[in-house]
Chain A
């Protein structure tokens, strides 16, 4: 079988060194890699044919990145499609399902043999005149209007929820096929948050590029900004100081803490266990406020910059942060341990919303959702970059794949993150906030991975002959994981949906971009 090229997290390579395979070889390489070699689809995307170093005016480039988690290697290859049809790999590689749907929508390529060929974000194709569903250029594309999977029979009914749903939450549409309380099937239609980020990134960086990254998924500002910074640094050869690496690590773990703690509180709220809901609701804010001490923004805006960080950490701040964190650790421990000691909580969490390890592997889940199924998968461990090259974090797992496991993995990670930050504060390297990131290398490609609080964030940047972005692909962890929420609901009760949803807490805007 033809080999792809090999690269590592955050290492730039010349486009010409990305093997260009014949379509059938490319497909074989992808299928063989996942099915036989146990690799995982990190990214699979389309690009204008000239963006990937080709010259053909017709057709499009397809680029795929596969992860060999055990060895910390990334396998990469590309091909040229004629731009009309391509043979789907989904019958053999389930986890490519949404990637192919996305390519179909963005570039108007029909994937033959795809079992579920539906739009993803409900927008017009990037290539005028090419549409995978044969829609005309001026046709309206109403969001959420698609051929939903339906179950029919006596007493089977359909429940439609969203895009505007109860609670302060981003919009999405959920279509349940129910038999009484029991959910036979859930289909999720997103795209309501689509703002056109990837389209706007081409030709950059511009002065808006960083704000795009920081708001791709605003609750993951540090995670996406770090992946972006890593990509730019690889392409420009900037050397980041040890101080900046440490501050980034602290900020990334604070982001994880705020979200994990907030979500544990929200899970408690969803089952009406108010003590933990109240305490964690407040404590989440304490962690956000620590991030604000670093950079003035509760969400970490302005902290991560290509070449380093926008703000350093003074010795006074180190002292202050250490004492705040120590207090927060005591409070969080008390608040969260109530969950595990309260039978009514365990009764609601255990066995609810179960995803099997086989399904988790087949879907290529990432982050706490994968680790809750016993899968050892964490970018900080498998593809360490920045501070994580020097400080090794163990991978936290649980084994039942249910709400309880997802909650418990979060709790284990909370403890890890606090210890990590405290140890970083103890030995913070002095000086050096930001090195200048110079011009980017032309005709190059880099894959940058970061373990955000939801899981693997993957950015793939490609540059043109002038060193500008010819394609910039963002994969938020939610992109891998949304389908797992649908599976988690199968045979469950529709009343458990809020609980299941919160246990994943996936990003709508990170998915919709």
Chain B
């Protein structure tokens, strides 16, 4: 017992100050929001598009990168002769609309808060049922991590609940395998309305590396309406938290900078 108390004193208080204070620092090699500079693209060059494992990069017109497909690997950066693509440390990636995830060099339109009644209902208390539908356990793990003491997502009134009947919505990871399609649909049906759906990770948004496989359905939007897209492979916990807080209108900066 004494040891347990000593350990408690030594391990200390570990919940991060964010969002009131600074977010945890990202490692030097971290790959967050890609910065595109289409002006640098040599005429007719397709090096990045050709090496991209998920065909997230379009080069038919001006350079465009679909964050919903991006695995945040380094293939395009390595292949580009002119450094037209670079990963920044910006962890804010979540959007409300699928089409907003296609970058063409403009600023990413980050997610707005839920509208009116939904925001009032869920803004200070959001219970989510997490459904893994073919994910590789990386997205699941970093969704789960938000429940640990360092992140303590409970302080925002966000909880992962065991029953869909206790939930306000679903958080989905994985491309939605054919073998999980029915279970996912039934879980959704069991959530009482009004309800929201959040897709986390490249697989849940687009199928990720499994896009096109007949064993899956290219992401959750094939089955359900999605209210929030959080890209990444997997998204950093800070990216997931940022997305959730934006959706609930809980970030100071959202209130300070009205979107044009």
Name A residues whose Cβ lies closer than 8 Å to a Cβ of B: 121-123, 142-143, 163-171, 191-196, 199-200, 207-208, 210-212, 215-219, 221, 275, 278-279, 281-282, 284-285, 289, 292-299, 301-302, 310-311, 331, 334-335, 337-338, 341-342, 507-509, 512
Given the contacts A211-B209, A215-B208, A301-B71, A169 and B142 also touching, CB distance less than 8 Å: no
CB distance from A172 to the nearest CB of B (A): 10
CB distance from B177 to the nearest CB of A (A): 6
Chain B positions within 8 Å of A166 at CB level: 162-163
A215 touching B11 by the CB < 8 A rule? no
Given the contacts A163-B180, A215-B209, A297 and B31 also touching, CB distance less than 8 Å: yes
Q: Is B73 an interface residue (CB 8 A)?
A: yes
Report, nearest first, the 5 A-B pairs whose CB atoms are least far apart.
Answer: A218-B136, A218-B138, A166-B162, A296-B29, A281-B148
B74 touching A302 by the CB < 8 A rule? yes
A168 touching B140 by the CB < 8 A rule? yes
Chain A positions within 8 Å of B183 at CB level: 163-164, 171, 192
Chain A positions within 8 Å of B132 at CB level: 168-171, 193
Chain A positions within 8 Å of B52 at CB level: 207
A192 touching B177 by the CB < 8 A rule? yes
8 Å CB interface, B125-139 against A: 129-139
Given the contacts A164-B187, A334-B7, A219 and B138 also touching, CB distance less than 8 Å: yes
CB distance from B126 to the nearest CB of A (A): 15
Q: Complex formed: what's the CA distance from A207 to B131 in Å?
A: 29
Q: Complex formed: what's the CA distance from A299 to B236 in Å?
A: 10
Q: Which of A123, A169, A192, A292 has the most CB of B within 10 A?
A: A192
Q: Complex formed: what's the CA distance from A207 to B209 in Å?
A: 10
A122 touching B179 by the CB < 8 A rule? yes
- Nearest A residue (CB) for B11: A279
Contacts A/B (CB < 8 Å), 8 sampled: A163-B183, A166-B162, A168-B147, A192-B183, A193-B180, A217-B136, A275-B7, A296-B30
- Nearest A residue (CB) for B131: A164
CB distance from A261 to the nearest CB of B (A): 12
B177 touching A212 by the CB < 8 A rule? no
B169-190 vs A, Cβ < 8 Å mask (1 yes, 0 no)? 0000011011110111001000
B174 touching A289 by the CB < 8 A rule? no
B137 touching A196 by the CB < 8 A rule? no
B105-136 vs A, Cβ < 8 Å mask (1 yes, 0 no)? 00000000000000000000000011111111
Q: Which of A199, A293, A301, A512 has the most CB of B within 10 A?
A: A301
Given the contacts A218-B138, A221-B138, A193 and B177 also touching, CB distance less than 8 Å: yes
Chain A positions within 8 Å of B174 at CB level: 193
Q: Complex formed: what's the CA distance from A331 to B7 in Å?
A: 9
B215 touching A285 by the CB < 8 A rule? no
B135 touching A218 by the CB < 8 A rule? yes
CB distance from B43 to the nearest CB of A (A): 24
A338 touching B3 by the CB < 8 A rule? yes
B236 touching A211 by the CB < 8 A rule? no
Q: Is B197 an interface residue (CB 8 A)?
A: no
Given the contacts A296-B30, A334-B11, A301 and B73 also touching, CB distance less than 8 Å: yes
Q: Complex formed: what's the CA distance from A160 to B227 in Å?
A: 32
Q: Complex formed: what's the CA distance from A335 to B149 in Å?
A: 14
